[in-house]
Structures are given as structure tokens and as C-alpha cells.
Amino acid sequence: MRKLLAGLTAILLFTGQLLAQKTISGTVTDEKGEPIQGVSILVKGTNTGTTSKPDGTYTLTAPSNAKVLIFSVVDMTTQELSIGSSSIVNLSMVPADKTMQEVVVVGYGTQRRQDITGSIATVKGAAIADKPVQSFDAALAGRAAGVQITVPN
């Protein structure tokens, strides 16, 4: 009798957790109606999220108190959408209005070209493309002034 009572209690507790969630699905498209793959969909204020499939569709199990979804992807404006009690949420994303500035890759990150105070050297891909070397860093050796290439043992 005691085991039966414990089993019923456990079932009731887990059922409550299942009922405290809702499934949200939909499609993410661009302004032309084409599906967008790889859009991050996140429930605002939580770590619950998913990404859209190649056909732009997604399915997300969210807490029952979820109110806002955040949609983000590279080259598109991040959008927040109120979901209310809806279980189907479709969104048409808008391209981001960003202009790319000239970026320099340095050994410890990236910086804008105008923020660099040292000298900058450019090595074109054609200069190292057909060289028979074992690695990329070996191909750079001797191509830019001040660059030291070391190989750990």
C-alpha cells in the first residue's frame, strides 16, 4: 500500500511539471518569404531555446509563463516577439542595416583598422596558396616583417 501511494504521488508530481510547459512552433522567413535556416529562438529570461531547420521551421517547448521570444541570426535584425497564448508563431525577419568596417585580425582578437597603432602587413592568399608547406603558419614565415613563427615541441 505504501509503495502504491508513493508511486501515485510521483506520477502526480511529474504530471504537474509536464502541464507547466507549452509547445510553440512556427516558421521563420526573410522579407521575400524565403525560409531562414539557423535562426536562434530563445525564450526571454530563460536558457530555453532552439534553432530553425533548413525549411525555416522550429519547435520549442517553453515554460507556461513564457511571454516573449527572441529571434536572432547573422545579417538580420534581432527581434523580440510577444507570444501571448499562441502556440504558432511565424516571423518575417528584416535585414540588419550594418555597414562592415575594415577589420584587422590580430593574435589576440580583432580590431578596427583605425584603432591599430602599430604597423600592418597584408599577405594575399595567392602569395601562399601554391607553396608546398606543412602548415599555414609555415607559409606565413618570412612574408610579413616582425612576425615570429614558433612551433611548440
- 16 CB burial (10 A radius; 0-12, 13-18, 19+): exposed
**What is the model's pLDDT at position 53?**
94
| pLDDT tens sequence across 71-91 | 999 888 999 999 888 888 999
**What is the model's pLDDT at position 100?**
56
- Domain 2-92 fold is Immunoglobulin-like (2.60.40)
| pLDDT tens sequence across 48-62 | 899 999 999 999 998
pLDDT band at 69 (very low <50, low <70, confident <90, very high): very high
> Which sequence spans correspond to the domains of the chain?
2-92, 103-140
Per the prediction, the chain carries an average pLDDT of 80
Cut 0.85: pTM above it: no
Phi, psi (5° rounding) for residue 83? -105, -20
DSSP category for residue 46: S
Residues 6+ apart with CB under 8 A from 151: 137
As beta bridge partners, residue 68 has 82
